[in-house]
Structure 1
Amino acid sequence: MRILFHKDAKLRDGPSQFPDQGNDLPSDYRTVGDSYSPTAISASTQALSRSIVTKGLDRVATNGCWFPKGRRRALTRPSRSLPTPDFRALFESAPGLYLVLTPDLTIVGVSDAYLQATMTKRAKILGRALFDVFPDNPDDPGATGVSNLRASLERVLRNRTSDAMAVQKYDIRRPKSEGGGFEERYWSHANSPVFGKKGEVAYIIHRVEDVTEFVRLQQQGLEQSKLAETLRSRAQKVEAEIILRAQELPDMNKKLLATNEELARLAAIVESTHDAIISKTLEGIVTSWNKGAERLFGYVAEEMIGKPVSILLPPDRFDEEPEIIERLKRGEHIEQYETVRRRKDGKNLDVSLTISTIRNSQGCIIGASKIARDITERKQAEEALRESEKRERSIVDSAYDAFIAIDSNGVITDWNRQAEVTFGWSREEALGKLLAHTIIPPRYQEAHTRGLKHFLETGEGPVLNKRIEIAAMHRDGREFLVELTITPIRFAETHIFSAFLRDITERKRMEAEINDHSIQLEAANKELEAFSYAVSHDLRAPLRGIDGFSQALLEDYAEKLDAEGKDHLHRVRAAAQHMGQLIDDLLNLSRLTRGELRREPVDLSALARTIVTDLQKTEPDRQATCVIAEGLIVKGDPNLLRLVLVNLLGNAWKFTGRHACARIEFEVTQRNGTPTFFVRDDGVGFDMAYVGKLFGAFQRLHDRSQFQGTGIGLVTVQRIIHRHGGQIWAEAAVEQGATFYFTIGVEKTIAV
Structure 2
Amino acid sequence: MSGAVDYEALFRSAPTAFLVLDPELTIVDANEAYLNATARSRAELIGRPVFAAFPDNPDDPAASGTAKLGASLGRVRRELVVDVMEIQKYDIPMAGGTFDVRYWAPVNAPVLDRDGRLRWIVHRAEDVTAFVSAHDGNAEAAQLAGALRVRTEQMAAEIFARRRLQRRHEALEAVIDSLEPAVIGTDAAGRPVLYNDAARELMGDTLGEVTAAEWGRQLHLYGADGRPIGPDLPLLRALRGERVDDVEIVLRPPGRLRRFFRVHSRPVTGQPGVAAVVAIHEITAARRAARLQECELAIAKATARPEADGQVLDEATRLIGSILGWDLVEFWCWDEAAGLIHRAGRWAGPALDLPPGLPEFLAPGQGLAGRAWADKQPVYQPGREDGPLRTALAVPVPLGPHPLGVLVCYADVAEIPGDVRAGMVTGVTPPLGVFLARRRAERLAAELDRARDQYIALVGHELRTPLTSIQAYTEMLLEEAGLTGDQRQMLLVVQRNTASLRAVVLKLLDVAALRAGHLDVRRRPMDLALVLREAADAARAGDRTHPIRIEAPGSAPIVGDPDRLRQVADELIANALTWSAAGSPVDIRLTPGEHTAVVSVSNTGVPIRADERPRLFEPFFRGDGARHSGMPGAGLGLSLAWTIVEQHGGVIEVSEAGSPATTFTVRIPTNRLPSRHPGETGRPGEPGRSDESGRRGEARPAGTRPTTMGRQTPDR
TM-score (norm 1): 0.31
